[in-house]
């Protein structure tokens, strides 16, 4: 099962500034940069879009998808604001978890799926599995 997870909702725009996205969403981002800001110190490259991102990382005895659920709670009443940005931003809902087994199974509750659907965002997800343990079970019964 997933023992640790993190979730982010990120908005990428080639036309809006971070301040403009913040004004629409009514939240300060956890992470941001502007179009044209340097990428790192030495690369000489610049960002090709502005980024506004909010991240939730929760821990607990059985976190499962707690971070994703927490992030969805933050944006539950902001679907109209997200809709205002939809044509001006690429919007990505990111979720990743770390599994304590080699199979990486997890459950998305019906309420979680409904909350994702309400935001009208695709979920980009990854589960990192613990493949160090070889218990001899190949899953074939």
Q: Which domain holds residue 109?
A: 2-37+46-127
What gap in Å lies between CA 108 and CA 122, rounded to an integer? Answer: 14
Please report, for the domain that includes residue 33, its CATH number: 3.30.70
Query: Residue 120 contacts by C-beta under 8 Å, 6 or more apart in sequence?
Result: 79, 82, 83, 86
Which parts of 14-84 are beta strand (E)? 31-33, 50-56
- pLDDT 10s digits, 36-72: 999 988 888 999 999 999 999 987 666 688 999 999 9
Structural domains of the chain, count: 1
The ranges of the chain with pLDDT < 50 are 138-141
Entry pTM:
0.86
55 exposed, middle or buried (CB, 10 Å; 0-12, 13-18, 19+)? middle
């Amino acid at each position: 099962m997933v023992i640790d997870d993190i979730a982010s909702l990120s908005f990428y725009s080639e036309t809006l500034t971070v301040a403009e996205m913040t004004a629409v969403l009514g939240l300060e981002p956890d992470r941001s940069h502007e179009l044209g800001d340097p990428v790192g110190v030495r690369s000489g490259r610049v960002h090709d879009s502005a980024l506004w991102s909010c991240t939730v990382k929760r821990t607990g005895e059985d976190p499962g998808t707690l971070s994703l659920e927490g992030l969805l709670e933050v944006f539950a009443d902001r679907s109209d604001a997200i809709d205002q940005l939809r044509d001006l931003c690429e919007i990505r809902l990111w979720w990743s978890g770390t599994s304590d087994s080699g199979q990486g199974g997890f459950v998305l509750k019906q309420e979680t799926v409904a909350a994702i659907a309400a935001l009208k965002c695709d979920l980009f997800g990854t589960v990192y599995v613990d493949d160090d343990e070889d218990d001899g079970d190949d899953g074939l019964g």
